[in-house]
């Protein structure tokens, strides 16, 4: 899997496999910025660029690479459990299909049922997954709040 053509988005967008030397710094920036802006109930100082490496260790990563803007989002997949662990897109690129393109590309690499967890307080993300046909499963709590498991059969 080298890249995917989204078909529905600007032809300048390509979903491709993460390349550590080329993409790490930008993905660290995205990971920090998006978590700080999305998880408004958590002190934003808690999120650091250095979190990216340990938090994605062992995952398969895909990036959304735009010809004019560079990497604007990424998805992390924990392959042994068909689990989408991370899906982050820069806020200025929300609601234009980038998250869906990343998610669709990730789903082509894993079996069903696919699973992910979403913070309960993240209303936009919950609605996004529900709109795409994901169904709620288990619920729990972690260090940043309550989460809901979503399952796609």
Q: Whole-structure pTM over 0.85, yes or no?
A: yes
Smallest CA-to-CA distance from 102 within 15, 11, 12 is with 15
Confidence of residue 5 (pLDDT cuts 50, 70, 90): very low
Alpha helices in the chain (DSSP H): 20-38, 52-56, 98-107, 123-131
Q: State the pLDDT at residue 10.
A: 54
Q: Is the pLDDT of residue 15 over 80?
A: yes
pLDDT digits (tens, 9 = 90+) for 86-96: 999 999 999 99
Note whether residue 129 is domain-resident: no
| pLDDT at position 51 over 90 | yes
Instruction: Tell me the average pLDDT across 40-62.
Output: 97
Residue 22 lies in a domain: yes
Kindly state whether residue 50 falls inside one of the protein's structural domains.
yes
Q: Residue 136 domain-assigned?
A: no
Question: Is 134 a member of any domain?
Answer: no
Mean pLDDT of 73-80: 98
Residue 107 lies in a domain: yes
Query: Domains in the chain: how many in total?
Result: 1
Q: Using only C-alpha atoms, what is the Rg of the chain?
A: 15
The 3-state DSSP class for residue 117 equals strand
pLDDT-derived band at 6 (thresholds 50, 70, 90) equals very low
The overall average pLDDT reported for the chain is: 93
CA distance to 84, 101, 102, per residue, from 9 (Å): 22, 8, 12
- The number of angstroms, rounded, from the C-alpha of 96 to the middle of its chain's C-alpha atoms is 15
Instruction: With respect to residue 96, please indicate whether it lies within any of the assigned structural domains.
Output: yes
Residue 126 lies in a domain: no
Tens-place pLDDT, residues 107-150: 999 999 999 999 999 999 999 999 999 999 999 999 999 999 99
Q: Which domain holds residue 95?
A: 3-112
Which CATH number characterizes residue 19's domain? 3.40.630.30
Using alpha carbons, select from 35, 103, 29 the residue that is nearest to residue 69.
Answer: 29
Strand ranges, E, within the chain? 3-4, 13-17, 60-66, 70-78, 83-89, 114-119, 135-142, 145-152
What is the DSSP pairing of strand 70-78 with strand 60-66? Answer: antiparallel
């Amino acid at each position: 899997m080298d890249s995917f053509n989204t078909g529905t988005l600007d032809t300048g967008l390509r979903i491709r496999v993460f390349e550590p030397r080329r993409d790490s710094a930008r993905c660290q920036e995205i990971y920090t910025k998006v978590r700080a802006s999305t998880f408004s109930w958590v002190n934003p100082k808690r999120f650091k660029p250095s979190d990216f490496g340990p938090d994605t260790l062992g995952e398969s990563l895909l990036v959304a690479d735009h010809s004019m803007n560079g990497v604007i989002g990424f998805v992390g997949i924990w392959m042994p459990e068909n689990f989408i662990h991370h899906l982050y897109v820069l806020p200025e690129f929300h609601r234009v299909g980038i998250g869906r393109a990343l998610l669709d590309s990730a789903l082509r690499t894993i079996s069903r049922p696919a699973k992910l967890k979403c913070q309960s307080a993240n209303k936009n993300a919950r609605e996004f997954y529900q709109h795409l046909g994901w169904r709620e499963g288990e619920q729990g709590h972690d260090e940043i709040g309550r989460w809901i498991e979503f399952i796609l059969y």
